[in-house]
Structure 1
């Protein structure tokens, strides 16, 4: 690698090997060589970092909703793995919210409905039940999504 790469070389490196590019950016930051940073891509990556954190929480909530739907609409097929998935993703969600408290901003009805819309389709696909089987609007609140005691018949509680 060139000691003082040009902006063009940095852009090429970003496209070709993002891991090497990120190591170089970290090294430049550590050395205080701010004038050599690939700011355009660095800003893009910082923005993406926030999105990735949000997407981790959204994914966990989606899985919880998906499995709650299966739990409520296919009681004859309930399994211990569904319980484990619901509880594992509740633990993950709590961890994400503790590590990144600003993610609490997505705990709105709009976000819940947006996530539910996807979970509903996934539940229909997996269960092979008609999409119309599941309510169009999310039947769960944020509190229920994160509540270890919901639903009461889930059968697994942390002590």
Structure 2
């Protein structure tokens, strides 16, 4: 490992300077110098990356659902907030689009009931339980939730 003091292992570097560890790991991978890799921490970092990506797309989808529910089921506030809610829906969809791989799409499909439940809880809190017309399970398809032009019929 040329860029790091010969007295310091890659594993030790990880504990001291994670960014430098990452740079050194990339150099090793590019050089196909696999025997020097800190495999244990590399696996940990890849798992963290996977969790972060899943959390990000789930959070963005939850935001889309929250705003669709508010738009569709809260007519008393819709006259004041519909423009803002529609803009937020577009923004969250725009943020989702470049981050959505086939695997993350499948993850969202599988997690949609749970994500919807979280969004529903938020909307219930936000509206102080005033909306008794909210569906208890998701009535939107994932395709609708991701479609930049889809807006539900106002109830």
Q: How many Å separate the matches in 2 of 1:40 and 1:117?
A: 36
Q: How far, CA to CA, are the matches of 1:39 and 1:3 in structure 2? A: 19
User: Per chain length, whose mean CA-contact separation is higher, i.e. which structure has more relative contact order (CA < 8 Å, sep 6+)?
Assistant: 2
Aligned counterpart, 1:156:
none
Runs of 4+ in 1 over 6 A off after TM superposition: none
> What is the CA distance between 1:115 and its match in structure 2?
0.6
**Residues 36-67 of structure 1 deviation map (CA, whole Å, 9 limit, x = unaligned):** 21100101212222232222221111100111
Note the alpha carbon deviations across 1:46-93, whole angstroms, 9 max, x for none: 222223222222111110011111112322223222111101112222
1:157 maps to: none
1:14 aligns with 2:14: yes
Matched-pair contact (CA < 8 Å) for 1:62–1:118 = yes
In 2, Cα distance between equivalents of 1:60 and 1:124: 18
CA deviation after TM superposition for structure 1 residue 118, in Å? 1.0
Say yes or no: does 1:91 pair with 2:89.
Answer: no
- Residue 41 of structure 2 is matched in structure 1 by 41
Structure 1: unaligned runs, 5 residues or longer:
154-159
Distance 1:67 1:40, change over 3 A: same
Aligned to 1:3: 6
State how far apart, in whole Å, the 2-side matches of 1:12 and 1:73 are: 55
Alpha-carbon separation, structure 1, partners of 2:73 and 2:96: 24
So what's the TM-score if we normalise by structure 2? 0.78
